[in-house]
Amino acid sequence: MKALNNTSIYTAPFVTQLVTEHVLLTSLLPSIPTQTLTDTLNSQYPSGKRMSHHSSALGKTPSGNRRLKDLLQQRDNRTCADCGAPDPKWASANIGVFICLKCCGVHRSLGVHISKVLSVTLDSWSDAEIDAMIEVGGNASANSIYEAYIPQGISKPRPDASQEHRSNFIRSKYELQDFLKPSLRISSSNSSSLKSSLSRKIMDNVPSNKGMVEFIGVLKITVIRGKNLAVRDMLSSDPYVVLTLGQQKAQTTVRNSNLNPVWNEELMLSVPQNYGPVKLQVFDHDTFSADDIMGEAEIYIMPLITSAMAFGDAGILENMQIGKWLKSHDNALLEDSIVNIIDGKVIQEVKLKLQNVESGEMDLRIEWTPLDQ
Ligand SMILES: [Zn+2]
């Protein structure tokens, strides 16, 4: 299983995209600039407790994850900033709060220009994102700003609050910023329309879940390589891979003039309760016209998810085979696809024959992580 150990060293385009967004976002947004928020927070603390503006200047610490976990251990971060549910596993990286899965759904629906949601355990965080979280100082600090003045008649949702109550409160708190100290409220309609036009481009590339989808887990799909792909230009093709699950899309980078491209890129998709197959499509990138399709395939993820659920916490299980997606005449598999537990992770290797095209194969590796862990 040597290949598995290499997974973490590949830079996924997803991660690059997040970093780019972060730079864009921090330059545009949020309505309260981070600096202002930090200054405001600092002015409320005795000097000995001030948050550092220079955490990033200290150089790389041994582990960004460690710093994030430490922050999560802080007492006020052990409950959701919005509803108080225990053990939040999600965070809004630009706002600087830790939140639960239900509130995460609302944050996602606000769009990344308001709240950029990342999983504490599953997503890759940049140093800058971790620095920003540390600078805000945790849920209590952020709430002292965002919930400074909650008017009478408005109550903070509890963990079991209705979807409507939760959604209304979170929108008022972050999108409308109704509960800020009056002196901090920014009421320029111009700035918000500028904000939405500038952020539209970013949002187009990010799954938005308007219908309040609840997720049961996350697929990390490593697009390993393509073989013998179809020719779409004169002699070759410039392929890239698009994965679609429900409304979410994720795609690899383009490999120029290559019919046997090696990507080794990780793409992440959240799995909603009612999931269908993941659709894989290969396209030929074309600068001057629409991209041509170079084949497609459906990946049935039910065998992976149901077997993982049946076996429970993979972290405490020995390496073993737990399930199988069988090759048949009406699916795209080149061979039976085995679901294994490997070093505490649920992993499925998938070899696909591309459909509706003259030639082409794809190798993938899928890792499943349930969200109830
Ligand atoms: Zn919550």
Task: Tell me the domains of the chain and their CATH numbers.
Answer: 2-204 (1.10.220.150), 215-370 (2.60.40.150)
Residue 287 CB neighbours (<10 A): 6
d(CA 133, CA 321): 39
Distance 147 CA to ligand 1 centre (A): 15
Q: How far is the CA of 29 from the centre of ligand 1 (A)?
A: 23
pLDDT value of residue 183: 64
- Say how many Å lie between the CA of residue 170 and the centre of ligand 1: 10
Query: 350 CA to middle of ligand 1, Å?
Result: 36
Q: How far is the CA of 119 from the centre of ligand 1 (A)?
A: 14
Could you tell me the distance, in angstroms and rounded to a whole number, from the CA of residue 155 to the centre of ligand 1?
14
Instruction: Return d(Cα 139, Cα 81) in angstroms, integer.
Output: 5
pLDDT at 202: 32
Are 321 and 339 spatial neighbours (Cβ–Cβ below 8 Å)? yes
Cα torsion angle, 72, 77, 79, 81, sign: negative
**CA 169 – ligand 1 centroid, Å:** 11
What's the gap in Å between 271 CA and the centre of ligand 1? 19
pLDDT at position 42, please? 41
- pLDDT by residue, tens only, the chain of 373 residues: 333 333 333 333 333 333 333 333 333 333 444 433 444 444 443 333 334 333 333 334 447 788 898 999 999 999 999 999 999 999 999 999 999 999 999 999 998 889 999 999 888 899 889 988 988 889 999 998 899 888 888 999 999 999 999 999 999 999 988 888 776 665 433 334 333 333 333 333 334 444 455 788 899 999 999 999 999 888 889 999 999 998 888 999 999 999 999 999 999 998 888 888 999 999 999 888 888 999 999 999 999 998 898 888 888 888 989 889 999 988 999 999 999 999 999 999 999 999 999 999 999 999 999 886 4
Please tell me the distance between residue 88's alpha carbon and the centre of ligand 1 in angstroms. Answer: 7
**Residue 176, Cβ density class (10 Å: 0-12 exposed, 13-18 middle, ≥19 buried):** middle
Cα–Cα dist 346/303, whole Å: 12
Given a contact cutoff of 8 angstroms between Cβ atoms, the answer to whether 304 and 366 are in contact is yes
Given this model, what pLDDT does residue 107 score? 94
Report how far ligand 1's centroid is from the alpha carbon of 159 (Å).
6
In this structure, which residues have their CB less than 5 angstroms from ion ligand 1? Answer: 80, 82-83, 85, 100, 103
- The identity of residue 280, as a single letter, is L
Q: Model pTM?
A: 0.48
Q: How far is the CA of 306 from the centre of ligand 1 (A)?
A: 27
Compute the distance from residue 83 Cα to the ligand 1 centre, in Å. Answer: 4
- For residue 99, report the distance from its CA to the centre of ligand 1, in Å: 5
> What pLDDT shows up at residue 49?
36
Q: Which region holds residue 226: left if phi is over 0, alpha if psi is between -120 and 50, else beta?
A: beta
Please report the pLDDT score of residue 63 as a whole number. Answer: 77
Ligand 1 centre and the CA of 138: distance in Å?
Answer: 15
Residues 283 and 35: their CA atoms lie apart, in Å, by: 42
Phi, psi of 305 (to 5 degrees): -75, -40
**Taken in order 286, 291, 297, 301, is the CA torsion positive or negative?**
positive
- Ligand 1 centroid–CA 6 distance in Å is 35
CB-based contacts of 173, cutoff 8 Å, min separation 6: 82, 146, 147, 179
Q: How far is the CA of 31 from the centre of ligand 1 (A)?
A: 22
Distance of CA 125 from the midpoint of ligand 1 (Å): 21
135 Cα to the center of ligand 1, angstroms = 22
Whether 291 contacts 284, CB under 8 Å:
yes
Give distance in angstroms: CA of 70 to centre of ligand 1: 20
Q: How far is the CA of 90 from the centre of ligand 1 (A)?
A: 9
Q: What pLDDT is attached to residue 195?
A: 35
What local confidence, expressed as pLDDT, does residue 46 receive?
Answer: 36
Q: Distance, CA 311 to ligand 1 centroid (Å)?
A: 28
Q: Quick one: pLDDT at residue 201? A: 31
User: 209, 256 in Cβ contact below 8 A?
Assistant: no
Predicted pLDDT at 121: 85
Distance 166 CA to ligand 1 centre (A): 8
**87 CA to centre of ligand 1 in angstroms:** 10
The CA 79 to ligand 1 mean position distance, Å, reads 8
pLDDT at 334: 96
Coil, helix or strand at residue 162: coil
